[in-house]
Amino acid sequence: MRITIINTDRNEKRYTRVELEEFVAQLRDGTYRQQYIRDFNKEVCFAAEWVKQNGELKAKSNNCLTLLSLENLRDLSTVEEYKRLAILQPYTLLCFMGHDGHSLHIVCQYTIAAPVPEGNHKAQSFMLNAQSLTNAFRKLHFIYSSQLGTPLAEHEPTFETSCKASYDPQPFYNPSAIALTVSSEPEAIPEFRPMQEDISDYNYPEEIPGLSLRNSRMRRFHDCLDTAIEKFRDISDDEEYTIAVLEQLADGCRQIGLPQAWCARVASFIPLFSESLDNNAIESAFKTAYLKEALKTIPMKYTRPSALLVFKTEAYMKEHYTLRLNVMTGTPEYRMNAVGYGFLPLDQAARNTMAIKALKAGVESWDKDLNRYIDSNLIPKYYPMEDYLRHLPKWNGKHDYVGELARRVKTGNAYWESDFHTWMLSMVAQWTGKDRQHGNAIVPLLVGPQGSGKTTFCRRLLPEWLQTYFNDRLSMKNDNDIFIAMSSYALINIDEFDAMKQSQQPVLKYLLSKHDVKMRPPYGKVMEERQRFASFIATTNCLRPLTDPTGSRRFVCVYADEIDNEGYLQHDQLYAQLVQELREGRQYWFDDTDNERIIRQNMDFQRIDDYEKMVLLTYLPPADTPADVPFVPLRDVMDTLAARFPTFVISKNTDRELGRRLKMMGYKHKRMTKGAVYGMKEI
């Protein structure tokens, strides 16, 4: 793949093309490090391969690449932190530092779901390509803004969009990155919802009339700075003057309620402080001012040292971090109290870093003290699925997104669309805990040839930002592992269902009806009762995967002739529809009539090895057989069973064994010249 390098020299532009791999090598070796010393500038365009023919600029090809950018980052460490988060995303093809050292560029690849017209429709083709580029940019902008915890730079994506060529000794390049599938038609993509900034115990000031909240804060910040400068104007020593102004600024910001981390970050860009103090010194000044105020409410004179340490630890943690307990993963997560940080798992390294920073700030809290606070009920609980559903846009009410999704599975089952709809409703009800007595007890079972897209269909039921809560590698060997998965995932795909042992299907049948699960978490000492979030779906290549006739009503078996996984899924509208339907009281469970129908449908998917079970699934039992029923030759009975059950194999002694079983079951029989006949009626 070739990208375009744009050389600007005295307002004249020259276009050259290089392979993407070559550009990555140039980023690494410093080809563009000294470019700004000379009288020319270089920019790089990823979206298209441009050529100049007869003085006219033409697009030779569409690379299906889009550019995302993070700007105005604090320092190199902040750039590296965001780079670390960006490379964790499966769509990141290339990630490198911007030319100014305060920005980050992310390049992603996309594919167009529907083929773009060619031939004589070049104008239409270009417009569709342009719409796909817009869709890809907006969708990826939302994904990365959500995952990185900060809004990315906004711009109108075009095939001419470019950025400055730069130098990065450690660019990230992943040729195997996933390409995002987008439509060539306009898509309804949700806007990024910035994480709440009001995370400390301090109240933000009201907006100044005519100014945004950000500009209001900036105005108040500079008012405090001007006051501090005026107060210490007579100090002649530069170092003393800088420190005095900084401490006064920090105290003033605290008094009017500005957020500490935000103020420290703004102060780090002011030359008065940044030219003589490092970032740690600036942050320390604000920490001291804010922590001192927070501790004023603690009755230190009459408080024991151990209790005082608890108060100091809690005040420090609330001031610098936002903590939450993810109820699905069962692990705490944290976010630094500064604009631009997202939530991350609170692992041991993060805990140790918190303890070290607390000690540096003068709070004598070791890791055991911090862990005591982190692992307490003082940390609020976070429900990922409920949070996603709560922030959905309103369903437009004009389109059946659930039905459209079901119809992607090409099948002759006339009930599939309605059954799938009911199951999706039950899954959402499971996430929200709507029914505290029952769980989602139904499992759609997709039957079809290998490579037909069954697993892909299951995975795509969840949006990209919830793929963390999808599991298709569940082991059925350990009950406790199953219990943990049921409380930790939103959707579990039992891939290769036919590989499940016959003894495991009754266990699964029992678990499906459970709303809550009792389990012992890893390294836990006692049993815990947790809410079940997971619903189940299954896939198999086996045409007859069911082995337990008594549990067949738990499975909605459907043979998938073909599955369409190419089109774009509007997940937000899909789940908004389900939420609205649940709110309006639509039935989200299968009643007795549905269950009886499902059992009948599943007859063709039943694998039976026992003669008696095969007979009872095919013929009326002796007690229900009419007295005047015609007698059927044993050979006809064997042919009927062989046609329905692949495991019924006719061999030398089959007639003898089957005849014996029919007599034991009580079926009327006669001995005729050509063999035995039996009074039996097919169901």
pLDDT tens by residue, 519-560: 777 666 677 778 889 999 999 988 878 876 666 788 999 999
Residue type, 203: N
How far separated are the first and last CA of the chain, in Å rounded?
A: 63
Give the C-alpha separation, 37 to 229, whole Å. 36
Is the pLDDT score of 36 beyond 60?
no
**Better pLDDT: 158 or 340:** 158
Report pLDDT for 295.
59
Report pLDDT for 372.
85
**Model confidence band, residue 114 (pLDDT cutoffs 50, 70, 90):** low
| Predicted TM-score of the model (pTM) | 0.57
Instruction: Give the Å distances, CA to CA, from 614 to 608, 619, 624.
Output: 6, 9, 17
Is the pLDDT score of 326 beyond 80?
yes
Whether residue 610 contacts residue 657, with contact meaning beta carbons closer than 8 Å, is answered with: no
Of 26-40, 117-131, 192-206, which has the strongest mean pLDDT? 26-40
* Chain centre to alpha carbon of residue 608: 40
Report pLDDT for 123.
42
Mean pLDDT of 296-305: 56
Give the C-alpha separation, 273 to 280, whole Å. 11
Report pLDDT for 65.
94
Whether residue 507 contacts residue 414, with contact meaning beta carbons closer than 8 Å, is answered with: no
Report pLDDT for 550.
61
Whether residue 567 contacts residue 113, with contact meaning beta carbons closer than 8 Å, is answered with: yes
Rg of the chain (C-alpha set): 33
**What DSSP character marks residue 497?**
G
Report pLDDT for 122.
43
* Among 272-281, 377-386, 499-508, the least confident range: 499-508
Q: Read off the tokens for 573.
A: 């509208």
**Model confidence band, residue 37 (pLDDT cutoffs 50, 70, 90):** very low
**Percentage of the chain with pLDDT > 70?**
87
Beta bridge partners of 56: 53
Mean pLDDT of 84-102: 88
Helix ranges (H only) for 532-653 are 571-583, 592-601, 611-618, 634-644
pLDDT digits (tens, 9 = 90+) for 183-214: 877 776 665 544 433 333 334 445 566 666 66
Mean pLDDT of 588-605: 88
Give the C-alpha separation, 335 to 198, whole Å. 12
Give the C-alpha separation, 511 to 483, whole Å. 9
Instruction: Give the Å distances, CA to CA, from 268 to 104, 280, 285, 605.
Output: 19, 10, 11, 68
**Better pLDDT: 320 or 659:** 659
* Among 352-366, 393-407, 631-645, the least confident range: 352-366
Mean pLDDT of 330-345: 75
Residue type, 335: R
Report pLDDT for 197.
38
The contacts found for 647-652 with CB under 8 angstroms, 24 or more apart, are: 647/544, 647/607, 647/608, 647/609, 648/608, 648/611, 648/614
Of the candidates 508, 453, 451, 450, the one whose C-alpha atom is nearest the C-alpha of residue 475 is 508
The length of the chain is: 683
- Mean pLDDT, the chain, rounded, equals 82
For residue 669, what is the enclosing H or E element? strand 669-672
Burial of 674 (0-12, 13-18, 19+ CB in 10 A): exposed
Report pLDDT for 34.
53
Half-sphere exposure of 180 (CA within 13 A, CB side): 31
Is the pLDDT score of 283 beyond 90?
no
Mean pLDDT of 478-498: 86
Is the pLDDT score of 335 beyond 70?
yes
Mean pLDDT of 571-600: 92
Mean pLDDT of 567-576: 88
Mean pLDDT of 445-474: 90
Burial of 617 (0-12, 13-18, 19+ CB in 10 A): middle
Of the candidates 96, 73, 82, 93, the one whose C-alpha atom is nearest the C-alpha of residue 169 is 96
Is the pLDDT score of 99 beyond 90?
no
Q: Edge-to-edge, what's the strand order for the sheet holding 669-672?
A: 631-633, 675-679, 669-672
Of 146-150, 272-276, 458-462, which has the strongest mean pLDDT? 458-462
**Better pLDDT: 30 or 116:** 30
Q: Read off the tokens for 355.
A: 């303890």
Is the pLDDT score of 317 beyond 90?
no
Report pLDDT for 522.
67
Instruction: Give the Å distances, CA to CA, from 477 to 40, 503, 528, 549.
Output: 65, 11, 20, 22
Give the C-alpha separation, 643 to 641, whole Å. 5
Report pLDDT for 38.
41
CB atoms within 10 A of CB 216: 18
Of the candidates 495, 607, 593, the one whose C-alpha atom is nearest the C-alpha of residue 551 is 607
- Contact partners, residue 573, CB within 8 Å, separation at least 6: 188, 393, 395, 396, 399, 401
Residue type, 124: Q
